[in-house]
Every structure is written in C-alpha cells, then in structure tokens.
Structure 1
Amino acid sequence: MRNKTDYNCDYLIIGAGIMGMTIAYEILEELPTASIAIIEKEAEVGKHASGRNSGVLHAGFYYTPDSLKARFTRDGNRLMKEFCKANGININNCKKVVVAKDEEELQSLFELERRGRKNGVDLALISEEELHEIEPNAKTYRKALYSPTTATVDPLEVCLKIKEVLQEKGVRFFLDCRYTGNSEDNVFTTRGIFSAGFIINTAGLYADLIARDFGFSRYYTIIPFKGRYLKYNGDDMPVKMNIYPVPNLKNPFLGIHYTITSNNEVKIGPSAMPAFWRENYGGLSKFNLNEFLNIIYFEFILFVRNSFNFRSLAWSEIKKSNKKYFSGLAKKLVLKCDIENFNQWAQPGIRAQLLNKRTFKLEMDFIMEGDERSLHVLNAVSPAFTCSFALAKYIVKEKLPAEIIEQRTKQVKSVEIN
C-alpha cells in the first residue's frame, strides 16, 4: 500500500446516507470553509436504508420524552420540509391516524398521546365520529390519534438533492470507495489513503464493524431486519391518509400500516423479518458467510432466551412472506378494502438495528460513541430519516470537537507558508 496520503481534509465522513450527508450539510452551516470528503462503497448515494425507507416524515409522539428520538423528530420533520420546499422536492402532506382495536390498545393510545404532548407535537385525540370525517375508511375502538404534521417525501430524491447541494458547496464525494482500515488520522480505502482532522462513521449496516476498528462498539452488534411493502394496484384510493395500528411500545417496530407515498401510491407494510446477512435483500445476493454465521449465532441466542419475545416476532414475520396473510393484517385497520389489489412487492429495505450484547435487547434510541479523533453513529434507525437535519445539528454542535479542526487548519497554513 502506498505510504503517501492521497487526500487531505478537515472532516472525513464514511457513508453517503442521509445521516452522513446531513452532518456534512450542518458542518458547513457552522464552518463554511471546512473541507469535507465523503466516501461511499456504492456507486451512488442513498443505496441502502436512506433511499429505501418509506419516506414518511414522522411527527414524534412514539418516543419517550427522555430520548434523542423524541428530542429531534418534531424539529427534524420541520427542517426536512423546509429543505424540500427550498429545493423543489414534492411533499405529500397526507397526515396520519393511529387506530386501536380494543381496550388494551386504547390505553397504549393514551400513552402515545401523553408522550406527544410532552414532546411538543401537534396532535389530537379524536372520537370515532371525528375519525370517519377525516378518514372514512379507518376503523378504531372508541378513539384514534390524529397527526396533522405527518407527511411523505421520496427519500432517494431527497438524498440525491442533498448530494447536489453539498457538491455545490465544495464537498468531495468518493463513490465506489470502500473503507478498508485506519491508522491514527489516516483512513485506508480502495481508492487510496485519506488523512482527516476528524472522522465521522455513518456507515449504517457496517457502522459497528468500522467503529470496532477505532476501539468502539465493544458491546454492540448490528442485527439486520428486512422490511418489505406491498403496493396497491387498484384504480381507486382505498385510504386518504396514513393509517397505523397502535405499536408494541416495547419494540422499535410500528406494525403493518398504510402509507401514502409522495406520488400518491398506497402501500402496506413493512415487515420486520430477521435477515441472515447485512445486505440480505433477496436470494443469495451479496451473501457473506462470516456475516451469516455471526448473525445466526446472535439470532439463535435471542431465540433461546426469547429476548423481547423474539420467538413470536420471528414466527409472525415469517408468516408475512405470504401476501394474503400480509394484506390481511392491514385489512383489520379499515372498514373495507380489496386486499387482492395489494399484489406487488415493493423494493425491500434493511434496518440496521443495534443489539446490545450484554442485555440482548434491541436498542431503541440513537446511539453514538467517539473521542477527540472520531465519532461513530451506531444506531440510526427509524425515524432517523425524519430526524436527520435536527440530529445532525446536535452532532455538529455537541459531538464534534471544532477546536481540532481549527488547530489542523492553522498547521496546514503554517506548512504552506513555510
């Protein structure tokens, strides 16, 4: 390997997903002259969760008030809408209702409303009659929760636009550039050696492995979950807005629901099926034996211990591979729907879910580890897309040691003068 540095920068970001790019965006808001490089192993940005998610801009009422998710979802919703409006990206202000099926779920609905109020979210607890006025096809038990700020966008369009904006601001993208290792402030890649004042790891499905190279992610590992949607191909619009069930508040998954996309397509999903390797999108594509053995090991332990009711979760998700069963779950949320028209699988996505190896529980909140040399965003799962601009602001202001960049800039100028 060549000893010389191929590229020098103030900040090096590993991974060109929504988090890596919004962090770059916010760095330039704070330090307009900073030099930033983003490396990405794929041929384009947003190729994984960032470009494959539902595009829903969540309101922020699912999350406990002491969590980072609660802190950043409401503001992230607003900031993402502002970015989209400023850059000509379509926003479908389709809104959302959460419905209950029985008394037990009604109590959970009340808890969601309490969380939302505490998080400062605009929402309303409405009656069945009020629900039928705004969404005639939704079905609930006594009450429903109405979220007027929930919307949808095209996530890949957003990613590509952020890339364009960053390039105009001088950010260098190195695509088809895979991380291979590091030493001090040097990062080794398939396209050469990068020297950086500070390194930010937003590598999604591989963030834990890269973090381990830097001495972090000691107690964590990524367990991938595959999310799939069924698209509606009827001539009508079966629903007017997003319809969600009351989720199991002990798990980070929201259950099968109706989503109206940015271009007014209707789909149901997603599943949350345990995957067997990190990019297990379909068939044996990108099969990795080491990943397979490692993930099977942890999934076996989860099955034996039945952590977070893993056995039931795994079985229910396996059943969702059947279209009829899958669409039948969605039918429970509405008064009428021709489920036969939900007949086309949409592009799957993989959720890079962090597992705590000490407790064998899925981490519910965003998790970051780092030091004066690097920062590693380990658990940036839903609603990370919604939160991205707000979370990036927090990371830049609270987690990045700007003084290191200032020192580095002075050193570079000193070398240039001498």
Structure 2
Amino acid sequence: MRHALAPLAIVMALTAACGDSGAPLEDADGDGDGGSGVGGSALNGSGGSDTGGSASTAGGGDVGGAPASGIAPEGAVDGEHTASEGDNTVEASPSADDVLRVDLEPNEHVGFFLAFDGDFDGVELELSRWDGEAPVVLGFTDGGAGLRTLAAFDASGPRTFWIRVRSDSDGFTGTLAVTRTPFHDGAQCEEDCDRLLQFPMRNDPTVDGYDWTTSTVFRYQFGRRDLVMFVRHAARQMALAGRAPIFPEDFSQWNGETPGNDVGAPRHASHQRGKDVDVSLYGTDGLAPWRSYCEVEYTSDGRECIAGTASGLDGAVNAEMFGAFLESGRVTMSFLDQELIGVLQDGADEAVDADALDPAFVPLINDGQHLQHWPNHDNHVHVRVSEEPYGAASVTPPSFEAP
C-alpha cells in the first residue's frame, strides 16, 4: 500500500495497551488503522497528486499579511472533485487515487463511510485538512472487511477537507457516503443526544487535546453525540491547561455494537449503543499513553493490580480530567482498578487545592459508583454515560452492566 504518512518522531512504546478484555488494543483482524505516533502532530503530505499521495505545493496561505483562509483554492489538490451529500461512486487503482473535496462549516460534523466488495485488496481511506497553505494529512484507515470510515470537524471556521481513496487492486469501485450533521462542542448536550457519530479526527492535538496511535481502530470510535461532545470537552480542557494529549480508544462499532463483533472477537462485554469509552491516563511524567500503572497479577477475573504496587499515576491531573466528564451530569459509572482509584481520590483533594477541580465533584469521585473497580483497568479509565432521556428529573443509575 502506497502511503505518504510517516512519523515525525519515533513512536512511543505503548506498554501493556490492553482493552477491557485484556486483549491488545489493535485491530482484531490484523490490519489495524495506521498512526502518526503517540503525540505526533499532523504531517504535511498526501493530497498532491492522484498517483503518489505526495505533499501538495499549492498556495492559499497568507497574502500580504492577511490571515490564511480555511477554504483552499480550487484545484489545490490535483484531480480533486467535490463530494456530494449522500452516496458518491469512487474508483481507484494502484496508479490513480480518487480524491473528493468537502468544504465544511464550523457547525458541521462530516462522516465518511466507504463501502466496497471485500475481495478488493489494500483499500485505504485518508483524511487531509487545509492548513491555510497546504493540505495536511490527519490520518488514515486500512482496516475492516468491506468498509472504511473517518470523520472531521473544525470549530475554528470554514475549512476544506479531502478524503482520498487508494487501492492496490485494479478496477476498484466503491460507494463513499458523505453525511453532514450539525454539531458543536460543549460540556452539555441539548438535543439529538443519542445520535451515533464517529469521533472526529483531531486537527491539532495541542488544541483538541487528543490524538491517535497505530492501536486506534476508527470503525470502533462511534459514540452517542453527547459522549463524543464530553470526550472532546475533557480533552480540550486538558489542552487549555497545558496538558499532553489523551488517547481515546474504543467507543462502539459504526453500527452501535460491541467493538470486535464484526470479526467475531468482541473486545468488551459492553460498549454498545455508543454509551462507553476507554480513555488513557496521565502519568507523573505529564504524558498519557496507554500503559499500566502497577504490577499486575492474572486471576480468574482478569488482570488486576497487586496491592501496594501503584506507581507513576498522577492522581491530581487524572482527577482534573475526570472532573471535566462529570461536568456533563450524565456520567453514571466509570471503571478503574481499585489500586488506582485510591490514587485518584487522593489526587482529587490536591486538584481542588490547585483550583483545577470543582469541590462538588469530590463526593462523586469518592462514592464508589462513579469510579468503581473492575479487572483489566490498570491502564485506562472506562467512562459510561446515561441512556436515560434528557429532561428527566435526575439521572437514575442503570442496572449494573460489566464493562
């Protein structure tokens, strides 16, 4: 597979990057989505030609000191054509990519869903964004039987995105569905909150506050609108505080089912209907890759921290992040290893003293429900939101469902 995206720096090792089941967080069918590396910024590349995916040299940046426009000039990418809302027929071959352009408003989320015959080999979907001067590759996906899916959102203003289809097979054809949905950021959701949306690709991890790695499976990142909002809110709050990016992994599959169902290997007991998400944790080094924060033992229930071995977890910063989720008023329960819960509870008091956490959230962190023990959670926190209709007098805790 030809690809222009290459790491800017050496990819940080993801120590013990495991899902709720304890299985490695990688595509279960062995062809996971590619990555820019932990904390990697967007890369200049792709979008320059139909055949090579090389960097575009098209203009569109500052002119006479004027601010760069978020809308690219026509023809900024060779062979581009405007995508229609709904279904678009796409064709590609080893020597010719298909490049579709979308000019997006700041209140729009756009989802790209490519469906094709699974007999085609080496099919890749790549997303690029105009940075005011050139297209910048945000990421790509090459995993999934007969489907590829990515999403974009940019609240900063009107913005041009390109979706590039590549194939190692001659005569590739497929259908690319382009769906625009009204969307905005925030700590609370007002309407259409249970709509399933794909978590959008980050534009700048230092602003959006999150990133992705080679373990991220994009077709498993579909959440309820409200949960997508809450994850973005928490991540952006951490970025505003000068924190490193977090790494969200599994929400639900594109169809609302448990991630891994599509390949006959469910990665969780829950994660249906977009109500759950797994998020990495901050270490005392200030970074938040997926890694274990204790010595573990394997029991009949799964992987658990050995008592007294918690190490390297920043309780105060993680309490700050968790507090950003609690702002929504919709978190019903979350899961973390019991050894790490104590670190976070101690850190909550420190975060309050530093004015980084609302004191009203401390009782929730300590109540044994909003943070509770479950095996296989020594390297991430699992956050769940209510499926109860909005407008109810209170969020009633649902019956327990294992993560």
TM-score, L = length of structure 1: 0.24
Q: Indicate the structure with greater helix content.
A: 1
The structure whose RCO (Cα within 8 Å, separation 6+) is larger is 1
TM-score, L = length of structure 2: 0.25
- Which entry has the higher C-alpha Rg, 1 or 2? 1
